[in-house]
Structure 1
Amino acid sequence: MGIESQFRQLLSVSSENEVIEFKTAKNDYTFDKLGKYFSALSNEANLMGLNKAWLVFGVNNSQQVVGTNYRPNRKSQESLKQEIADKTTNRITFRQIHDLKLPEGRVILFEIPAAPQGLPVAFSGHYYGRDGESLGPLGIEEIERIRSQSAVTDWSAAIVSDAQFDDLDPQALRVARENFKSKFLDKAEEVSNWDDSTFLNKAKLTIKGKITRTALILLGREEAEHFLSPAEIKIRWVLRDRDGSERDYALFGMPMLLAVDKLFARIRNLKYRYMREGTLFPEEIDQYEPYSIREAVNNCIAHQDYTLAGRINVIENEESLVFTNLGSFVPGDVYRVVMEDAPEEHYRNRFLANAMFNLKMVDTAGGGIRKLFQYQRQRFFPLPDYDLSENRVKVTLTGKVLDMNYARLLATHGEFSLEEIIALDKVQKQQRLSENEAKALKARQLIEGRKPNYYIAKQVAQQVGQKANYTRNKGFDKQYYLDLIRKAIAQHGALSRAEIDELLWNKLPDVMTDKQKKNKVGNLLSELRKGGVIRNEGTHKDSRWVLLNQ
């Protein structure tokens, strides 16, 4: 169904309800109220067994299109996804924001995903719900009803009644036994005396001798995949060259216990060579720590939302590995997981995760993601990047030094905490810092600049040979720009706005966006005009700036 047809269908309902809300939002709408509706509609969709809810701007209470001017810029709409994610406890955000221009006026449709099974969605720490058309706190009974879902709807724990022991792969079963004995050394001798049925029960792959979806995912024969349809138990590996063109690919199916090794054998873990600088770096090192590759792909298997019928993807680029799996990131905040280094309270596939832990595939005791960060830190490589948008988890491991001077900073300052390194890593990647991160780095005089355009501080830049970068990021004093505009107009008699932009553009701080640079130039011209130095003899569209004393 096209989005316009979807909109017309929403308009046809007799009135607003728990999962459909119309707002006029003629020119603007408060972010706080928007977030509360997001929480409420997401939770109500879950409780009603739906996969999404809708918030529509540009429609009045009579369900007539009146048009809206809310966030007309597409980039601004995309940033709203990040803003909402920053305030929700599990970083769930809009699935899509649809901007629809109709003859009656412009409308925006916010497509809100239902709260994940077992996890009510909060905004700014509070749970919201709906009572008909009214917005209010989510009731205790409703919160508990959502939370109780995880105990009864673990997809991976379901028994597949038609599946038999013959549907399991003998080699996978042998490997599973060896991994279990290696994991639990005190039981190794005892395990050797167990028959297959006992072993599978003890390893939490079966339930009272019945084959589960977990047993098939990890140990099932490839031809047994029909038992799990429409779920697709596949990992697709793609090799891309520097230009992004596909050079090779492979598809790995059940049993996943063996598929991980097959995938690992395909990945070219090349040697990365550092320039010799005393004993600061080894001469060469693997691009990726083997543990990191296995941990990333096993996490994809453990946390994939198999009800979405998609594949796990592993993209190998020249200098990075990208892992993606479908479904929201259940813990919510990656950096909280890393810093707290504690077991999670909720899992999408708890039965599967426990079985993988017993077979030495994942570490459900906590710490797996933190180790990914630590291994990258030890190499002085960029830290893992997590993209949690579009109802999927995308993890990128970079297999090279991002900036040798920056790597020197980490190498020569062993006292940096992991939290500080995570924040500094964001600065290098020009990613947004939280208020607490910015405050902490400024307190240690590690960064300068104004939100959101932070850069490495002067004293740090001098230590690691980034003096030129520092100046490009910081820019010049305001008086420098004012004098430059005045001098250029005096030399040429008059300048247009486009010519003044061209004059200043490359001299403004590198960390500024084009929009910020445009606003900066406008502010400089406004200050000179108000100060009686220049005037515009042209129009707003075709400006002609001259000196007043000419």
Structure 2
Amino acid sequence: MNQADAAGLKELIEEAQEDNKLEFKKASGDLPKEFWPTYSAFANTAGGVILLGVEENDPKNIVAGVKNPAKIIADLFNILSNKNKVSDCVIGNDQIKTYVIDGKTVIWIEVPEASDRIKPIYLNGRMETAYIRKGSGDYLIDSEQLRSFLRNASPGEDSKIVTDASLDDLDPFSLASYKEKVSIRYPAKKYNELSTADFLLEIGAISKNRKTQEYKIKNGTLLFLGKYTAIRDYFPSYHLDYLNRKNLNNRWVDRVATDEPNQHEMNIYQFYSIVSEKLRALVYERFKLDSKQVRMPMGGFDESLREALVNCLAHADYSQMHPSIKIETFDGFFTFQNPGKMLVSYETYVKGGESRPRNEQIMSLFRYLGVSERQGWGGAQIFKFAHENRYRQPEIHSNLEHTKVKIWHVDLVDSYPDMLPDEKAVYQVIVKSDVPVSSKDLILATGFTEYRIRKAIDALKAGKHISVLGKARSTRYSALVDFASVITKIQSDLDAMKDRLQGNS
């Protein structure tokens, strides 16, 4: 690292503040004991960087350095290899770097987020000594968080048998409706000629004890087709809520909730049937089915909402002691929130191709209706539609407690109501252009004066809406592009190329 780079790094370190992904440790001669709770917390949350040899201070942090970096790094790997000290190692050689700043050595340790399959990362041989990161602090997990980690590591709770439950705990009206729809989709199977029990056995929704001939109900089947009181007996925190909040009002104009009087038993199937129709009524293209209820080409936005709704219901952690499903509609966007962490990474969700359902039984029941995406392309489909229609990209927030997906159905520029008219006009030109634009291009496109353009550009830069390329007369402006936008554009371009090749064949 040259002198200029060292000076730049020093400035960054001195000005930085500890947060959910950055931690300073003083560490003079030895690896500090305080390192390990932070290691566990970063690995169990969203990853982060630990800088050894830096002391947090106000107004500027102090680069104190470490005396023996080789020994500290050796001690680090020795402890990581000891299962009695640390449950798993998520750090490799590439994640550790040393930098010399003003003659003092700082050790940079990048701790990646661990796979859900090995979480929680815990200390001293006890799962109770696992930590999570909140803000700039490391906190011991509680018993509920530990159970959430273990469910995430081995999903499939919904395929387990419900103790003491029987067919009487299932709602006959939901069963009749569901069986009719599945029978229409698969006429060759002649499901309509089977008894209810035999139908459920055939599709794997229940099992049967060979010795006692007793039927066994699965968790997912009870949630999907059960009576509300029976569901609450086994899942006390079960709650589904749909709210239409028109005009961003705090008050809702329409609601469907499990704790309000309903004509139907409010299981997953009935909630999905009602809410999907309400969502469908809110968009401009209606979802079309043929007379046999087979999946047909549909409006892209309808399909995006359907995928989000199914994912929300099928990937929820119904055993979690937190408020359950919440679907909300606003002018301009929809939100889908469910308890539990998303079990694939953000990058995988955007790219598609990998499916790791939390509730395989519930997903299977959706598949028989023809309304679930088996191969993990639902997320990619949602992002692709937004990209192709120049909508603001969907937003995803996921942690141990919940996952929330926000889907916009307005132009990217219109999704920022606080932008001034000049800023919107300039931003619109930049967003619509496939190449970076100059100030001259913006003047020609908007008819604004150079002063108005400059003022709008300054505001857009301050709001982190655009990036600046080049200098002086070569300066160009483009919309900031995130990972999701890049991946979605590549996929759309590949799809277009495929269509052209098929058209020429």
- What TM-score do you get using the length of structure 1 for normalisation? 0.50
CA contact (8 A) 2:235 2:318 kept: no
CA distance in 2 between partners of 1:159 and 1:428 (Å)? 52
CA distance in 2, matches of 1:388, 1:470: 43
Correspondence for 2:255: 250
C-alpha contact (below 8 Å) 1:269/1:287 kept by paired residues: no
Give the drift of 1:53: 1.0
Deviations along 1:79-100, one digit per CA (max 9) or x if unpaired, are xxxxxxxxxxxxxxx4x225xx
Quote the offset at 1:467 in angstroms: 7.9
* Pair 510,155 (structure 1): closer, same or farther in 2 beyond 3 Å: same
**CA distance 1:381–1:225, change in 2 (3 Å):** same
Structure 1 equivalent of residue 263 of structure 2: none
> 1:207 aligns to what?
207
* Contact preservation (8 Å) 2:316, 2:339: yes
Q: For residue 109 of structure 1, what is the aligned residue in structure 2?
A: 138
Match of 1:246, SS state, is coil
Mapping for residues 236-385 of structure 1, pairs under 5 Å:
236-253=241-258, 254-267=266-279, 269-270=281-282, 289-309=301-321, 310-333=323-346, 335-339=347-351, 341-344=352-355, 346-377=356-387, 379-385=389-395
- The aligned counterpart of 2:437 is 457
User: Equivalent residue of 1:306, what SS?
Assistant: coil
Aligned pairs for 1:15-414 (under 5 A) are: 26-27=55-56, 35-36=110-111, 39=114, 43-45=120-122, 48-50=126-128, 52-53=130-131, 94=133, 96-97=134-135, 108-109=137-138, 116-117=149-150, 150=154, 154-187=156-189, 189=190, 191-208=191-208, 209-232=215-238, 234-253=239-258, 254-267=266-279, 269-270=281-282, 289-309=301-321, 310-333=323-346, 335-339=347-351, 341-344=352-355, 346-377=356-387, 379-389=389-399, 391-403=401-413
- Between stretches 372-381 and 207-216, larger displacement belongs to 372-381
Local SS of the residue matching 2:111: helix
Cα deviation, 1:124-174, whole Å, max 9, x if unaligned, reads: xxxxxxxxxxxxxxxxxxxxxxxxx52xx6211121122111111112112
CA distance in 2, matches of 1:237, 1:181: 29
How far has the Cα of 1:255 moved from its partner? 1.8
Tell me the equivalent position of 1:513.
462
Deviates more, 1:19-28 or 1:246-255: 19-28
- Structure 1 partner of 2:14: none
Structure 1 residues 116 and 378: CA distance shift in structure 2, 3 A: same
Q: Deviations over 1:207-238 (max 9, x none)?
A: 33311111111100122123323331x22122
Give the Cα–Cα distance (whole angstroms) in 1 for the partners of residues 199 and 444 of structure 2. Answer: 56
Q: Does the 8 Å contact 2:121/2:130 carry over to 1?
A: no
Per-residue CA distance 1:236-293 (angstroms, 9 max, x = gap): 12222435422335343332111112223444844669xxxxxxxxxxxx99833332
Q: How many Å separate the matches in 2 of 1:265 and 1:184?
A: 23
- Tell me the distance in 1 between the aligned counterparts of 2:449 and 2:216: 63
CA RMSD of the aligned region, Å? 4.5
Structure 1: gaps of 5 or more residues: 1-14, 55-93, 99-107, 120-148, 274-285, 405-423, 430-444, 448-455, 476-505, 516-550
Q: Which amino acid aligns with 2:257?
A: F
Shift of 1:314: 1.0
Contact (CA 8 Å) 1:180, 1:203: kept in 2 or not? no
Q: Identify if the C-alpha distance between structure 1 residues 508 and 219 changes in structure 2 by more than 3 Å, giving closer, same or farther.
A: closer
CA contact (8 A) 1:160 1:212 kept: yes
CA contact (8 A) 1:446 1:460 kept: no
CA deviation profile, 1:68-120 (whole Å, cap 9, x unmatched): xxxxxxxxxxxxxxxxxxxxxxxxxx4x225xxxxxxxxx436777694487x
* SS state at 1:381 partner: coil
1:331 partner letter: V
Conservation of the 8 A alpha-carbon contact between 1:238 and 1:246: no
CA contact 1:221–1:255 (8 Å) conserved in 2: yes
Return the letter of the residue paired with 1:44: I
Q: Secondary structure at the match of 2:306?
A: helix
Deviations 1:161-215 (A, max 9, x none): 221111111121122223333444542x2x2222222211222221333111111
CA gap of 1:198–1:317, structure 2 versus 1, over 3 A, is same
In the superposition, relative to structure 1, how do residues 466 and 322 fare at CA in structure 2: closer, same or farther (>3 Å)? farther
Q: Secondary structure at the match of 2:242?
A: strand
Q: Distance in 1 between matches of 2:458 and 2:316?
A: 42
Contact preservation (8 Å) 1:270, 1:287: no
State the SS of the aligned residue for 1:160: coil
Alignment of 1:461-472 (within 5 A): 465=445
Q: Counterpart of 1:214 in 2: which secondary structure?
A: helix
Q: What amino acid does structure 1 have at the position aligned with 2:237?
A: A
Q: Distance in 2 between matches of 1:227 and 1:118?
A: 20
- Separation in 2, partners of 1:400, 1:382: 7
Secondary structure at 2:319 match in 1: helix
Any conservation in 1 of the 2:38–2:138 contact (CA below 8 Å)? no
Q: What is the identity, as a one-letter code, of the residue corresponding to 1:203?
A: I
CA distance in 1 between partners of 2:450 and 2:129 (Å):
48
Distance 1:243 1:375, change over 3 A: closer
Q: Identity of aligned pairs, percent?
A: 18
**In the aligned structure 1, how far is the partner of 2:444 from the partner of 2:275?**
39
Amino acid across the alignment from 1:366: G
Show the counterpart of 1:545.
Answer: none
Deviations 1:495-522 (A, max 9, x none): xxxxxxxxxxx5873343389xxxxxxx
Closer, same or farther: CA 446–401 of 1 in aligned 2, 3 Å? closer
User: In structure 2, how many angstroms separate the alpha carbons of the residues matched to 1:195 and 1:470?
Assistant: 76
In structure 2, C-alpha distance between the alignment counterparts of 1:51 and 1:225, rounded to whole Å: 33
- Residue 364 of structure 1: how far off its partner (Å): 1.7
Q: 1:507 to 1:39 in 2, by over 3 A?
A: same
Q: Is the 8 A contact 2:224 2:267 kept in 1?
A: yes
Amino acid at match of 1:291: E
Q: Give yes or no for contact 2:328–2:336 (8 Å, CA) kept in 1.
A: yes
| Contact 1:52 1:111 (8 Å CA) reproduced | yes
